């Protein structure tokens, strides 16, 4: 696993490029210098522009969907179907403040 603390978007994209070309399966991005939202948006755009199929998840997202009732469950199901069989998952962890980027397949 790689762990980085990017200071700006350019550095984040550079580290994503290194991660894609490495044998590492997981990259943890610390959101102390850049907001979690910016990290996720930049990573998702960068990876999709490189041709990867990407899914963005929130740790505990299924529990939140169930707690919100029918619409939450339908929205979660639609999201899973729309991003079926992703190559990369971007996992937002609200507890640690980190974003994990995980290669799902080679």
What is the tens place of the pLDDT at every residue in 6-50? Answer: 889 999 999 999 999 999 999 999 998 999 999 999 999 999 999
Residue 47: CA atoms inside 13 Å, Cβ hemisphere, count? 26
Q: Which residues contact 91 (CB under 8 A, 6 or more apart)?
A: 56, 57, 58, 59, 99, 100, 101, 102
Q: So where are the chain's domains?
A: 2-59+86-103
What is the tens place of the pLDDT at every residue in 68-103? Answer: 555 555 555 555 555 567 899 999 988 888 999 999
pTM: 0.77
* Triad 58, 64, 70: Cα angle to 5°: 125
What are residue 35's phi and psi, to 5 degrees?
-65, 150
């Amino acid at each position: 696993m790689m762990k980085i603390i990017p200071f700006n978007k350019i550095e984040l994209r550079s580290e994503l490029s290194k991660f894609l070309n490495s044998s590492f399966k997981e990259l943890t991005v610390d959101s102390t210098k850049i907001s979690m939202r910016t990290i996720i948006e930049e990573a998702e755009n960068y990876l999709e522009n490189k041709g990867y199929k990407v899914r963005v998840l929130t740790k505990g997202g299924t529990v939140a969907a169930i707690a919100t009732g029918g619409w939450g469950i339908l929205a979660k199901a639609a999201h899973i179907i729309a991003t079926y069989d992703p190559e990369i998952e971007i996992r937002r962890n609200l507890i640690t403040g980190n974003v994990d980027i995980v290669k799902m397949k080679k």
